[in-house]
Amino acid sequence: MTNPLLKAPTARFGAYPFDEVKPEHFLPALKESVNSARAKLEDYKKKKGSDFQHVIVEQGDISDQVNYIAGIFYNLHSAECTEELEKISPEMSEILTKYGNDISLDPVIFGKVKACYDSRLEQKLSPEEMTIIEKTYKGFVRSGALLADSEKTRMREIDEKLAKLTLNFSQNVLKATNDYLLEITDKADLEGLPETVVEAAAEFAEKKGKKGSWCFGLDAPSMIPFLTYSKKRELRKKIALANGGKTFNSPFDNQTNLKEILTLRTERAKLLGFNTHADYVLEERMAMSPRKVMDFLNDLLEKARPHAQKDIDRLKNLAKELDGITDFQSYDSTYYSEILMKRELNMDDEMLRPFFKLENVVDGIFKVANLLYGIKFREVTDVPKYHEDVRTFEVTDEATGNFVGLFYTDFFPRPTKRGGAWMSGVRDQGLRDGKIERPHIMIVCNFTKPTKTKPSLLTLNEVQTLYHEFGHALHGLLSNVKYRDLSGTNVFWDFVELPSQIMENWVLEKECLDLFAVHYETGEKIPADLVKKIKESGKFLEGLGTLRQLTFAMLDMAYHTKDPATITSIDDFEKKETEKTVLVPRLPGTNVSTSFSHIFAGGYSAGYYSYKWAEVLDADAFEFFQKAGIFNRDVAKKFREHILEKGGTEHPMELYKRFRGQEPDVGALLRRAGLH
């Protein structure tokens, strides 16, 4: 039987054959493609030459089939991870890591790269080609190409172990999330929960074989409404404890994985001549050094903490006034925040939900993209999908009719999907087999599901999440470079959040809300006074929101700048490093670190600060839009040409200054957040 992973895709747009691919296809296809690539690499190594076309383009083409298979696998592993896929993931990871190391640690291949790098000035390369060879050379060096043979052997061992450990970490978080169920059998225990939440809980219980009761899980669309609205404090505590302790001293404990990851990352950094993993990571970031990151975070902390203290005091006073609570806890925060917002702004999520029907929000975001960048989205049904929830869209340029890219959306939680929200480059834009191909981009979220009686009605936060991920998608879709390694989101990690975070600003603007925010039953446009309140909500409890982000960013930097050998207790370390930023008591038996997938199973190690770093960029950039009009085509054209289309072809600060005409002003963030 023909393996669909080993033949050229025949679907429209060259889309992945999701409908044909089965778990049993992956390992045989990967092994065959790796063996074929190795044979081609041997021929490549025998050829003479140090020109760019031979060294970079030809060598890159050799790994295309391997990367194609890996791309399909890891997209599915995140969004539709069946037991069969999970079972083969360690071997897939091991093969891919070994293959990657075989290239990056090969002295002959590196010799070619170095020769090309050394002669780059004589080759009359374009700026993009110059960036590629410099990035490639640096990538080899950062992967250990200059190490002695014994050190290279150790580097291989470290990389292979890290691949397994980060995978184990991620799988433990997913298993622990799916393992928990809060079952409610007494209707009185549903007090405070909106009708939509109760209905969703009843349907969830039915799926779990517990008809007649109501069930809640640890995925965000289930847990967050419970923590927000449930009047039953003991039950809020119960689900908060379950969530905070799901991978800490539990059957899915991640403490050993975490310690080993830190130890290996540190050893790897030292092998390469860096003091810490953070030093290694930040060499390739706008921030450049741990000291600069910590100065940035501490400066924000100094400005935000007094505001955060006022925010928490208001919540504590409200809890005492309404319910006589004198021992305010973390599981009270969301609940009383919602009450306070209703009291001060006369607004809550349930008031907004009817105006945020998912399909309308999606249609609205397509209108925003059209107004800004002149692109159109048309749903197509002849593209293979990996799940019935997935929708596919053809993206075209309105003026020329040219194909811009293929766009996938996947919005609802399920046991086979990891939590959170993300954008994925299914196929990056750029050169492939001698021609420039347009991208295939996916966004995956975990939004409130429709019920039997109601469509999917989003919270304001979910709408902003959709806009955030769509911003990443635009970065991928509008990419206009030659080489895939520099396309779309292949930029410095502390720059990658600019296109995503800037999109969130539109959600708070009347001109944008008027495009899509209509009542799902009456068709009534969202009232002007509600729009005003949404705008005001952008600053509501922002001190606490900023402190929460700083907690994660500072914890991340602490883990990756300290000697792991001194961390005898993950819990004690976390307590100590979050003392300055946590204003409510930590719940006994809970731990953030052991489920901190961003830094221990994702790409954010020593990089979580980038969310706040990019907020400075996006606040400053959006002020530019506001001055000209939020749908001003001239400003949008500049943003598209200098940011979205350029990918990683130049240093991000140069691209930003070309768009903005100046370096970013940190005051823009403080003004927007009301923290100045």
User: What are the b/e assignments for 642-673, b being 16+ CB within 10 Å?
Assistant: bbbbbbbbbebeebbeebbeeebebebbbebb
Tokens 């006034």, residue located:
321
Question: Tokens at residue 670, please?
Answer: 């403080």
Spatial separation of the C-alpha atoms in residues 629 and 615, rounded to whole Å: 20
Furthest CA-CA distance within the chain? 80
Reduced to 3 states (helix: H, G, I; strand: E, B; else coil), residue 376 is strand
- Among residues 371, 376, 377, the alpha carbon closest in space to that of 631 is found at 371
Tokens 């429709």, residue located:
450
DSSP state of 303: H
> Left (φ > 0), alpha (ψ -120 to 50) or beta: where does 548 sit?
alpha
Tokens 């038996």, residue located:
589
The answer to whether the CB of 70 falls within 8 A of the CB of 100 is: no
Catalytic hit among 469, 497, 509, 577: 469
Reduced to 3 states (helix: H, G, I; strand: E, B; else coil), residue 276 is coil
Tokens 């889309």, residue located:
15
- Give the helix, strand, coil percentages of the chain, each rounded to 5: 60, 5, 35
SS (H, E, C) 246-265: CCCCCCCCCHHHHHHHHHHH
Q: Backbone phi, then psi, for 537, in 5-degree steps?
A: -65, -20
The answer to whether the CB of 376 falls within 8 A of the CB of 402 is: no
- Among residues 632, 375, 604, the alpha carbon closest in space to that of 506 is found at 632
Spatial separation of the C-alpha atoms in residues 545 and 428, rounded to whole Å: 34
Which residues, including other chains, have CB under 8 Å from residue 160's CB and lie 6 or more apart?
A: 94, 97, 98, 101
- Among residues 133, 516, 246, the alpha carbon closest in space to that of 358 is found at 516
Tokens 């060096």, residue located:
141
CA atoms in the 13 A half-sphere facing the CB of 403: 14
User: Annotated catalytic, 577?
Assistant: no
CA atoms in the 13 A half-sphere facing the CB of 122: 7
Helices (H), 105-148: 107-118, 127-142
Which residues, including other chains, have CB under 8 Å from residue 435's CB and lie 6 or more apart?
A: none
| Residues recorded for the chain | 676
The answer to whether the CB of 78 falls within 8 A of the CB of 422 is: yes
In sequence order, what are the beta bridge partners of 457? 357
Active site amino acids: 469
